[in-house]
Amino acid sequence: MGLIGKLNSCIENIGGLNLETLVDRKLLQKKIYFLQEFGVKLGYSYGFYLYGPYSSELTSDAFFLKSMKEQAPESVEKTELSAKEEKAMKKALKFFAKLSDKKYEIAYKLELLSSLHFLYNISHFTPKSKKEIFRRLKERKSIQDDADLEKAWTLLSSNSLISE
């Protein structure tokens, strides 16, 4: 399991723990993915699945945390983030704020952003050109709008999450 206390602190910073719907679970997966990319050390590894990067360990820990909060809320710990991680959290929250104020739009954009980022940074194929990343993502997902891909790429680049 990951660091439950630190995960709890992070989840409170990104809007609370909600696992009711697929969209809620997708938001949690993608936000934690980006928190780690910005520098919050939680220790979750991700693979590429239907909705982009996914961590089964995070899912297990999130449901465990939810159960703890429901059954024994006084036992749920919170671990403070380091100063460096607090800075990373602020950067990530600014990044999330640029996306939208509608949950479904945020989920769509985070899925797209994390998928692009994952293919660019974690995949082992070459060449890793923008054109090749777009092509490979379109093979895996039904994305037809090149404008969305371009906007996502620009946002990742402007936040130093990829280098062009």
Task: List pLDDT tens digits, range 87-133.
Answer: 999 999 999 999 988 899 999 999 999 999 999 987 777 777 888 88
pLDDT of 136 = 87
pLDDT at position 47 over 90: yes
pLDDT > 90: what percent of the chain? 70
More confident residue, 127 or 162: 162
* pLDDT tops 50 at residue 1: no
d(CA 160, CA 139): 26
pLDDT exceeds cutoff 90 at 143:
no
Looking at residue 144, what is its pLDDT? 67
The average pLDDT across 122-150 equals 83
Structure confidence at residue 86 as a pLDDT band (50, 70, 90): very high
Distance CA 74, CA 105 (A): 35
What value does the mean pLDDT take over residues 49-60?
Answer: 94
What is the chain's mean pLDDT, rounded? 91
Q: In sequence order, what DSSP letters do the residues of 26-85 get, joined into one string?
A: HHHHHHHHHHHHHT-------EEETTEEE-HHHHHHHHHHHHHHHH-GGG----PPPHHH
At 92, the amino acid letter reads A
Higher pLDDT, 77 or 66: 66
Q: What percent of the chain has pLDDT over 70?
A: 98
